């Protein structure tokens, strides 16, 4: 299959379940909501070495937020126990401390809820108040009062949706990946948790040489090793590859994000080949076949 002269490999991305929370952060201006969201979703690229995966899902208009202020929604993804701990710490340290912010549950219809009790910070001076139909706690703080919801819906979502953008050189592949990330930013329900949304150094599980490593470079996808490793997956004419990893609320939005990203990547001159990563079905139950979703 070819789009715009770029070969789309007949393969699939393999993904696995994760628990996800969506937190709506509002603030006096969009910029302040964005700053809090950026801090709260930092150090959260990959569950391999970070305590969770997190990212900014969308900028929200005032009409989309419970308090009518500008907002940003973020997704936080982890195992259930880790998820609670991470929501508590990231909201307590990165949002409650941020200027003018409030937080609201972005999955109010979820059946499962996590209690996130920030109001103890109020040391007894806190009180309850309804904002936009949400039961919130108000905590007196130095800037005045912090207001936020304390129960967050969680659902079982999808982690690890992915595709590879390969180019005739590094800059072509990188700009192709960037165009993909730009396109995915317009899709609801998903995040790309790596720096700038792009992975420069995709990994394989474990290591052949260093048994203590949980993950190591995926030599089959390293362009400089093409002639040194058997079964290289790097096609002739490709000299760089970037991976886009997508976490999302469900299969539909991950699939939509992959399609939007790939369609944007192939508009970039020098992009040559699109593929995706899977472990033959051993990693997880979700399969996103590139030819099907496009």
Q: Which of residues 30-59 bind a copy of itself (CB under 8 A)?
A: 30-32, 35-36, 38-46, 48-51
Of 158, 240, 244, 274, the residue at the interface with a copy of itself (CB under 8 A) is 240
**Number of residues this chain uses to bind a copy of itself (CB under 8 A):** 108
State how far the Cα of 112 lies from the Cα of 90, in Å rounded to an integer.
Answer: 20
Give the binding range for a copy of itself (CB under 8 A) out of 15-23, 149-157, 217-225, 286-294.
Answer: 217-225
C-alpha–C-alpha distance, residues 221 and 282, integer Å: 19
Beta bridge partners of 203: 217
For a copy of itself, which residue of 79, 153, 215, 284 counts as binding (CB under 8 A)?
215
Q: H or E segment at 179?
A: helix 170-184
User: Contact between 28 and a copy of itself (CB under 8 A)?
Assistant: yes
Site residues for a copy of itself, window 179-198 (CB under 8 A)? 179, 182-183, 185-186, 194-196, 198
Q: What burial class does residue 57 get, using C-beta atoms within 10 Å of its C-beta: 0-12 exposed, 13-18 middle, 19+ buried?
A: buried
Contact 50, 5 (CB under 8 A): no
113 binds a copy of itself (CB under 8 A): no
Residue 284 Rama label (left phi>0; alpha psi -120 to 50; beta): beta
Instruction: In angstroms, give the least distance from the CB of 5 to a copy of itself.
Output: 13
Q: Contacts with a copy of itself in 249-278 (CB under 8 A)?
A: 260, 263-264, 267-270
Tokens of 255: 């699939």
Query: Binding to a copy of itself (CB under 8 A): which residues in 78-97?
Result: 89-90, 92-97
């Amino acid at each position: 299959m070819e789009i715009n002269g770029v070969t789309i490999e007949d393969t699939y991305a393999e993904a696995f379940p994760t628990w996800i929370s969506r937190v709506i952060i509002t603030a006096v201006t969009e910029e302040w909501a964005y700053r809090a969201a950026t801090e709260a979703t930092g150090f959260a690229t990959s569950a391999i070495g970070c305590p969770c995966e997190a990212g900014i899902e969308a900028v929200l208009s005032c009409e989309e937020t419970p308090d009518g202020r500008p907002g940003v929604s973020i997704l936080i993804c982890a195992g259930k126990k880790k998820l609670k701990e991470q929501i508590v710490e990231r909201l307590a340290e990165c949002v409650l401390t941020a200027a003018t912010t409030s937080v609201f549950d972005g999955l109010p219809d979820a059946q499962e809820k996590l209690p996130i009790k920030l109001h103890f910070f109020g040391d007894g001076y806190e009180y309850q108040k309804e904002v936009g139909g949400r039961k919130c706690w108000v905590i007196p703080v130095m800037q005045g009062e912090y207001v936020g919801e304390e129960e967050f819906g969680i659902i079982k979502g999808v982690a690890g949706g992915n595709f590879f953008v390969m180019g005739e050189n590094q800059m072509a592949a990188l700009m192709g990946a960037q165009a993909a990330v730009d396109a995915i930013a317009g899709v609801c329900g998903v995040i790309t948790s790596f720096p700038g949304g792009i992975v420069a150094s995709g990994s394989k599980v474990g290591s052949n040489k260093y048994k203590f490593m949980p993950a190591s470079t995926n030599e089959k996808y390293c362009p400089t090793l093409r002639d040194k490793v058997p079964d290289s997956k790097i096609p002739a004419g490709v000299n760089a590859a970037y991976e886009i990893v997508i976490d999302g609320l469900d299969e539909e939005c991950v699939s939509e994000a992959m399609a939007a990203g790939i369609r944007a990547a192939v508009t970039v001159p020098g992009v040559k080949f699109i593929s995706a990563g899977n472990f033959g079905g051993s990693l997880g139950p979700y399969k996103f076949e590139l030819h099907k979703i496009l």
